[in-house]
């Protein structure tokens, strides 16, 4: 489901489970990969990407409906989003296709996002699904999006292609499918040498209030 690749100073986490929906296995494997990256030494930067037409299609609602502890699992989703938001190195989401709902939040929690320009949407469709954002989910996307973009995204459920995402300052850049991951790796490589203690401290200053939402 998850493949971890080392490319110079950059670690790439490949999501490889079709729609890459968030369930217990997916979240556990991503956290395991993040543990490995954090223990690898310096310099380090992180890229995540999917395959085919999906980066991540959000929560695995079918699985969640059978979970004996859905509330506990949502706590784990919140911890993952905040962990990416505050990761002590530069992070880049190489969004190869659709990023919907919690998948869009996961991409947005990265420092930078490169979107595929010829296919795929970034979307927060909760207003159409009747599933309101949790306070932590809202805090994560609110921390990374301009206020007007946040308002439009959460009140309308708009689907943003790469061009619209660039105009709304959701994404940093767009690229054809074959260039999304290389461009993300190039950006991560350029920034991998930034002082990790300072990166971590600055993220704590910016997002520490969000981390407090999930507890110790």
Only one residue has tokens 């350029």, namely 190
Query: What domains, with CATH codes, occur in the chain?
Result: 2-214 (3.90.226.10)
Question: Is residue 19 predicted with pLDDT exceeding 70?
Answer: yes
Q: Where are the alpha helices (DSSP H) in 86-194?
A: 102-108, 126-129, 135-144, 147-156, 162-167, 177-191
Please state the rounded mean pLDDT for residues 188-211: 95
Closest CA to 83 of 193, 211, 170: 211
> Would you state the pLDDT for residue 42?
79
Percentage of the chain modeled with pLDDT above 70: 99
Cα–Cα distance measured from residue 110 to residue 92, given in angstroms and rounded to the nearest whole number: 6
Question: Is residue 216 predicted with pLDDT exceeding 80?
Answer: no
DSSP characters for 4-41? EEEETTEEEEEE-STT--B-HHHHHHHHHHHHHHHTS-
Cα–Cα distance measured from residue 185 to residue 165, given in angstroms and rounded to the nearest whole number: 20
> Would you state the pLDDT for residue 13?
98
Question: Is residue 1 predicted with pLDDT exceeding 90?
Answer: no
Please state the rounded mean pLDDT for residues 113-140: 97
Only one residue has tokens 């910016």, namely 206
> Would you state the pLDDT for residue 49?
98
pLDDT tens-place string over residues 136-175: 999 999 999 999 999 999 999 999 999 999 999 999 999 9
Q: What is the pTM of this model?
A: 0.96
CA trace torsion 55, 111, 89, 209 (10° rounding) = -110
pLDDT tens-place string over residues 40-52: 887 899 999 999 9
Q: Across the chain, which distance is largest between two alpha carbons, in Å? A: 44
Mean pLDDT of the chain: 96
């Amino acid at each position: 489901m998850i493949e971890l690749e080392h490319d110079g100073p950059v670690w790439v986490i490949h999501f490889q489970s079709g729609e890459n929906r968030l369930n217990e296995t997916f979240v556990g494997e991503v956290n395991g990969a993040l543990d490995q990256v954090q223990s690898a030494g310096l310099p380090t930067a992180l890229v995540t990407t999917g395959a085919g037409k999906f980066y991540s299609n959000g929560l695995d609602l079918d699985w969640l409906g059978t979970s004996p502890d859905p509330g506990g699992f949502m706590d784990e989703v919140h911890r993952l989003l905040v962990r990416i938001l505050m990761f002590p190195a530069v992070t880049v989401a190489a969004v190869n296709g659709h990023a919907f709902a919690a998948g869009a939040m996961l991409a947005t929690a990265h420092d930078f996002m490169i979107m595929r320009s010829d296919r795929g949407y970034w979307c927060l469709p909760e207003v159409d699904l009747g599933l309101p954002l949790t306070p932590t989910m809202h805090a994560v996307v609110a921390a990374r999006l301009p206020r007007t973009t946040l308002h439009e995204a959460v009140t309308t459920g708009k689907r943003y292609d790469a061009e619209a995402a660039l105009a709304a300052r959701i994404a940093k850049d767009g690229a054809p499918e074959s260039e999304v991951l290389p461009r993300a790796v190039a950006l991560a490589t350029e920034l991998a040498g930034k002082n990790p203690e300072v990166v971590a401290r600055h993220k704590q200053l910016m997002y520490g209030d969000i981390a407090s939402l999930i507890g110790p």
